[in-house]
Amino acid sequence: MITRILVAEDEEIMRITVLDHLRNQGWQVDEATNGTEALALVKKNRYDLVISDIRMPGIDGEQLLAEVKLLAPRTEVILMTAHGNTDAAVHCLRKGAADYILKPFDLDDLTFRVQRLLNILAIKARCVSLESCCGQRHPLIGSSAPMQRLLSLISQVTQTDSTVLIHGESGTGKELVAAAIHYESRREDKPYIRVNCAAIPAGLMESELFGHEKGAFTGADQLSIGKFELADQGTILLDEVGDMPLALQVKLLRVLQEQEIERVGGKAPIKIDVRVLCATTKNLAEEVRKGTFREDLYYRLQVIPIVVPTLRERKDDIVELTNFFLEKFGEERGLTFTLTRDASQAIKNYPFPGNIRELRNILERMTVLAPAPEVQIWDLPIEIRGIKEETVEKGDVNLAAAVAAAERKCIREALVKTSGNKTEAAEMLGISRKNLWEKMKQYQT
Ligand SMILES: Nc1ncnc2c1ncn2[C@@H]1O[C@H](COP(=O)(O)OP(=O)(O)OP(=O)(O)O)[C@@H](O)[C@H]1O
Ligand SMILES: [Mg+2]
């Protein structure tokens, strides 16, 4: 995203010199000829940085700093001051200024300080995102038709700032879709914050989302910045938005319309620039009918609706996903896992009610517990093995085929019961280990 800076300086030559120099660095720079003008601009726009003279007629640099910290706490302030006024500058550092610079100064020194500050802001943004979304940044696997439609929709919405409502069954990858939208958008190097509305007690949600001032309520012994403010300039994911209490839904609607938030116990609204993504497993239209979700908010959220397909609707992706997870978990253990034909077939045939999360968990468990890197059918959980009765087809009276089917069934069951231990299975079946091995080869079990 483009860095936006405001320069407040009453002395014309100084102002123009600083402006030109900063603009030449590729930053978007606005100017204010005094503190009052600067304040009006801070109320209207969203700046990464305000560079202000300390001594100005009317509202001076110190007052401007205090207002900026109140109205736009994420905006940093660098103050400029003449030699001999260092005390005032140091005082401003205590009040929250990021830096000060003594006039006359070298323009390269100014660039250096601005760049250093912007680097720190970028690192902060990344840390905040990492904390909030650890592990949510891996590629979306799948090349089936429904997946291709999903990927193309994602790439379209990354071009905009519109609110997106992501709907899908549990474990289909809604969070991954949200992360993909953020990291492919122009906000990628700004914070990405995820809030799980289902996990926060209703009474604490307002303060969690919008923050609170010191003393706003019993126990609020210090100022707390809410998730929306943390996400400023970036993206917020309101996960399980269907679980948001009605009282807070009204406030969310206002935030979306006004692009400003108010901390609990706050004195003034704070301008924010946050892209909102929502995810839900609930059918929100149904919730609207039941009266548990506001209709106006529902329409405001689903400017762009995205439905994440279930794994059942994209069975073609199962193999690709399986290989992806086997490789990933194998890498962690320094092994290369492969599936036997039977094991792979059983996975493909399984309906996956828990979607990709279930597939992922099964494969992870398997790679930990499987005795060898070649995963056999009996290494799979019982519901996936799906061993069907090996029935003799109607009208088929071939004794050899019937015996073979029965033999195969018994062998598989013995192997399942002994978790693939051939010595124990052979014992259970009353045959030698060699005989079992030959029959397994014959029946491709
Ligand atoms: N297309 C995909 N490619 C690779 N991994 C995926 C894909 N979709 C989902 N996953 C993985 O599946 C798991 C579940 O995904 P995610 O948490 O995004 O689902 P969800 O829809 O948010 O589920 P819930 O509704 O339960 O919160 C995660 O481990 C995720 O990394
Ligand atoms: Mg989720």
For the CA of 177, the nearest atom of ligand 1: 18
CATH class of residue range 142-309: alpha beta
Task: Based on DSSP, count helices (H) and strands (E) in the chain, helices before strands.
Answer: 19, 16
For the CA of 176, the nearest atom of ligand 1: 18
Cα–ligand 1 centroid distance for 132 (angstroms): 16
Structure tokens that stand for 215 in this block: 């003393």
Pocket test for ligand 1, best of 134, 144, 147, 176 (most atoms within 8 A of CB): 176
Cα–ligand 1 centroid distance for 172 (angstroms): 5
Assigned superfamily of 4-130? Response regulator (3.40.50.2300)
Q: Are 28 and 41 in contact (CB under 8 A)?
A: no
Prior bond of 104 cis (ω within 30°): yes
CA dist 63 and 42 (Å) reads 13
Sign for the CA dihedral angle at 347, 352, 356, 358 comes to: negative
Q: What is the pLDDT along the chain (445 residues), one digit of tens a residue?
A: 678 999 999 999 999 999 999 999 999 999 999 999 999 999 999 899 999 999 999 999 999 999 999 888 889 999 999 877 888 888 899 899 999 999 888 999 999 999 999 988 888 877 776 766 555 567 899 999 999 999 999 999 999 999 999 999 999 999 999 999 999 999 988 899 999 999 898 889 999 999 999 888 888 888 888 999 999 999 999 999 999 999 999 999 999 999 999 999 998 899 999 999 999 999 999 999 999 999 999 999 989 999 999 999 999 999 999 999 999 998 888 889 999 888 898 998 898 988 999 999 999 988 888 778 888 888 888 888 865 544 445 555 667 767 777 888 888 888 888 888 888 999 999 898 888 888 887 776 6
Pocket test for ligand 1, best of 147, 172, 239, 283 (most atoms within 8 A of CB): 172
Q: Where are the domains of the chain?
A: 4-130, 142-309, 313-443
Identical fold at 142-309 and 313-443?
A: no
Q: Does domain 313-443 have CATH number 1.10.8.60?
A: yes
DSSP E strand boundaries for 123-218:
164-167, 192-196, 211-212
Query: Which contiguous run of DSSP H or E holds residue 145?
Result: helix 145-157
Instruction: Give the environment of ion ligand 2: residues with CB less than 5 A.
Output: 175
CA dist 228 and 231 (Å) reads 5
Cα–ligand 1 centroid distance for 340 (angstroms): 26
Query: % helix / strand / coil in the chain, to the nearest 5?
Result: 50, 15, 35
Q: Could you tell me the strand order of the sheet in which 235-239 lies?
A: 192-196, 235-239, 275-280, 164-167, 304-307
The single-letter code of the amino acid at 179 is A
CA dist 7 and 19 (Å) reads 7
Ligand nearest to the CA of 171: 1
